[in-house]
Structure 1
Amino acid sequence: MQKWIDVIRLANNGNLNPDQRIEKSEEEWKSLLTEEQFYVTRKKGTERAHSSEMCNLFEPGKYACVCCNTVLFDSEEKFQSGTGWPSFTQPIKENTINYIKDVTFGMYRIETTCSTCDAHLGHVFQDGPMPSGLRFCINAVALKKVKSDEKKVTFGGGCFWCTEAMFQQLKGVVNVESGYSGGEIINPTYREVCSGTTGHAEVIEITYLPSEISFEDLVKIHLTTHNPTTINKQGADRGTQYRSIIFYRTDDEKMQALKVIEDVQSAYDDMIVTEVKMFEHFHKAEANHQDYYNRNSETGYCMAVINPKLAKLKSLYQDKLKK
């Protein structure tokens, strides 16, 4: 999660490399864009406040650069700022936005541009909601809404190396990231979470397609591939950071999760103690914890601990696995 200090560091020391670069002449951009789009994105203009209905639209989806179609923001990070421009708390990826010092009009501001094509988007300020505290104030005319059927769900069930490896195998799962959730500390480190003092659990955030795998299926697989009856314990791992937990984003998801727990309970002699909690924030773990099994499958831990879990997953849910 980017914070103001990260924005300042990038503006001062140089931005991250984008996934790709698109460069066109001014005449080429003029031929592709409307007059207002060209004025805002290529000439660093600003649209009139409250001129777009995009400010008040919060349905699921993503927002891409109107010039090059690079996806920049997710609707989950959009909020009502009351400023008259669409506002977001985070970019969809750290390297999609460039930060540039702007001292025009006698003010010191940080301009935001698309890292792929240098389109002017708006500015970023440090008066947004926590935990990032950022407000990306973006011209609506610089964005295009992109329909997306993807949804997210966040689970904790012991070491995230194990849970990540299992859910990566499932059809309909687009992406799995390891991280921390459920506590109060912003951007905790692995060492801090392992101390058991942050309130965070080791979790995975799953991006999935409901048309291919349902929320209920994901919850059921979660509950039957770790031990949901032990409090703050999974195998040799002990501590609140290893607690069994399901984070829901809507009331419907809460009810569905509770129903699946009720249905699965008969498979266990002991009571399921999995916590069901409203999702607040996901803090992505360090790079060395991402895609851990695929990068370290020959290590002793992966062979002794994760391989048996994968074998159980395959025996229970062969029809749910990717080919």
Structure 2
Amino acid sequence: MLNWNDVLRFADAGNPTPDRVVRKSEEEWKAQLSDEQYHVTRRKGTERPFSSGMCSLFEPGLYGCVCCGTLLFDANEKFESGTGWPSFTQPVKANAIAYHADRSHGMTRVETTCNTCGAHLGHVFPDGPAPSGLRYCMNAVALKKQAASLEKATFGGGCFWCTEAIFRELDGVHSVESGYSGGAVDNANYRQVCSGSTGHAEVIQILFDPAIISYRELLEIHMLTHDPTTLNQQGADRGTQYRSIIFTHNNEQRQIAEDLLASLKDGFRDAIVTQVAPLETFYKAEDYHQDYYNLNGGAGYCQAVISPKLRKFREKFKAKLAS
């Protein structure tokens, strides 16, 4: 989950790398966009407040960049800010948005642009609701509503390098972030969590399309790709930070998790010790932990632990893999 410090860091030190880049000439943008869309997105204009019905639209869905189609926001992160512009608390992915210091009009603000095509979207402010405290104040004409809606799932099952590598390969999974949850220390770092003193577990947070892969299917994969019967331990990794846990985002997820655990209890020789708890706050881990296996595949831990686990996973769940 991004916070104001992340926003300031991106605006000051450089933005995250986008998944892709789209560049067009001004003539091509003009031919593609309406006059107002072009004025806002390519000339950094601002639409009139309360001029769009999108402000009061809260039905499920996704919002993409009107210029390049890149997914930017999920309706689940939308809230009524009373400002006259659509407002969100988080982008769908940390690298979907780029941030730039804006000192125009005698103010100091942080401009937001599409990290794929550079389209001006609006600004972000540190006066949004908890837990992120962010308000992405967007021009409605810069966004295009899409029918699908993404959901989040948060699991812990040992070292997050392992679990992240597995879930990144599934069809319907939009993104996976490693992080910490379930403890009592705000913004804990890796060293603190590894000490076992914070109460946090190493977890992954998955953004997925339920039309392609269901929450129950994700849970089944989670339960069958780690040992849910060893208390505070996965292999050689020991400590409460490696506990088996399912953090639920709503009551429906809680019920699905409890039903699944009940249905699996006779399938294991030992008792399942997996915890089910409501998610309070997810703290994204340091950048060097993200996509660790793909970026460090030759490292000893990756070769000895993650690669064999991935091979078993791919064979067992090959029908669920992204093409």
TM-score tier, shorter chain, comes to 0.7 to 0.9
User: Within 5 Å, which residues of 2 pair with 1:43-82?
Assistant: 43-82=43-82
SS, match of residue 127 in structure 1: coil
Assess if the C-alpha contact under 8 Å between 1:72 and 1:97 holds in 2. no
| Structure 1 position 88, deviation (Å) | 1.7
Assess if the C-alpha contact under 8 Å between 1:55 and 1:86 holds in 2. yes
Shift of the 31–312 alpha-carbon distance from structure 1 to 2, 3 Å rule, reads closer
* Percent of pairs with identical residues: 57
User: Within 5 Å, which residues of 2 pair with 1:35-46?
Assistant: 35-46=35-46
Unaligned runs of 5+ in 1: none
Q: What is the identity, as a one-letter code, of the residue corresponding to 1:75?
A: A
User: Within 5 Å, which residues of 2 pair with 1:230-269?
Assistant: 230-269=230-269
- Give the Cα–Cα distance (whole angstroms) in 2 for the partners of residues 188 and 238 of structure 1: 19
SS, match of residue 162 in structure 1: helix
Q: CA offsets per residue over residues 42-71 of structure 1, 9 Å max, x none?
A: 444333333322223334433222233333
- Give the Cα–Cα distance (whole angstroms) in 1 for the partners of residues 32 and 303 of structure 2: 54
Shift of the 305–117 alpha-carbon distance from structure 1 to 2, 3 Å rule, reads closer
TM-score, normalization by structure 2: 0.83
- Give the Cα–Cα distance (whole angstroms) in 1 for the partners of residues 136 and 193 of structure 2: 29
| Structure 1 position 144, deviation (Å) | 1.0
SS, match of residue 38 in structure 1: helix
| Structure 1 position 78, deviation (Å) | 2.4
What is the RMSD computed on CA atoms of the aligned residues? 3.1
1:22 match: 23
Shift of the 148–185 alpha-carbon distance from structure 1 to 2, 3 Å rule, reads farther
User: Within 5 Å, which residues of 2 pair with 1:72-221?
Assistant: 72-91=72-91, 92-94=93-95, 96-104=97-105, 106-148=106-148, 150-221=150-221
| Structure 1 position 269, deviation (Å) | 4.3
- Give the Cα–Cα distance (whole angstroms) in 1 for the partners of residues 209 and 187 of structure 2: 27
- Give the Cα–Cα distance (whole angstroms) in 2 for the partners of residues 245 and 13 of structure 1: 35
Q: CA offsets per residue over residues 141-178 of structure 1, 9 Å max, x none?
A: 22111333543322101111222233345454454332
| Structure 1 position 122, deviation (Å) | 1.9
Assess if the C-alpha contact under 8 Å between 1:174 and 1:208 holds in 2. yes
Shift of the 185–137 alpha-carbon distance from structure 1 to 2, 3 Å rule, reads farther
| Structure 1 position 9, deviation (Å) | 4.2
TM-score, normalization by structure 1: 0.83
- Give the Cα–Cα distance (whole angstroms) in 2 for the partners of residues 109 and 295 of structure 1: 34
SS, match of residue 166 in structure 1: helix
Shift of the 12–235 alpha-carbon distance from structure 1 to 2, 3 Å rule, reads closer
Q: What is the identity, as a one-letter code, of the residue corresponding to 1:90?
A: Q
| Structure 1 position 300, deviation (Å) | 4.2
Q: Which has the larger radius of gyration?
A: 1
Moved more, 70-79 or 125-134: 70-79
- Give the Cα–Cα distance (whole angstroms) in 2 for the partners of residues 14 and 166 of structure 1: 29
Shift of the 171–142 alpha-carbon distance from structure 1 to 2, 3 Å rule, reads closer
Q: What is the identity, as a one-letter code, of the residue corresponding to 1:5?
A: N
Shift of the 319–120 alpha-carbon distance from structure 1 to 2, 3 Å rule, reads closer
- Give the Cα–Cα distance (whole angstroms) in 1 for the partners of residues 194 and 22 of structure 2: 39
Unaligned runs of 5+ in 2: none
- Give the Cα–Cα distance (whole angstroms) in 2 for the partners of residues 312 and 31 of structure 1: 50
- Give the Cα–Cα distance (whole angstroms) in 2 for the partners of residues 308 and 116 of structure 1: 35
Moved more, 260-269 or 114-123: 114-123
Shift of the 51–280 alpha-carbon distance from structure 1 to 2, 3 Å rule, reads farther
1:292 match: 292
| Structure 1 position 126, deviation (Å) | 1.2
Q: What is the identity, as a one-letter code, of the residue corresponding to 1:22?
A: R
Shift of the 33–238 alpha-carbon distance from structure 1 to 2, 3 Å rule, reads same
| Structure 1 position 295, deviation (Å) | 4.5
Assess if the C-alpha contact under 8 Å between 1:62 and 1:145 holds in 2. yes
| Structure 1 position 93, deviation (Å) | 3.0
Q: What is the identity, as a one-letter code, of the residue corresponding to 1:87?
A: S
- Give the Cα–Cα distance (whole angstroms) in 2 for the partners of residues 16 and 66 of structure 1: 21
| Structure 1 position 233, deviation (Å) | 2.3
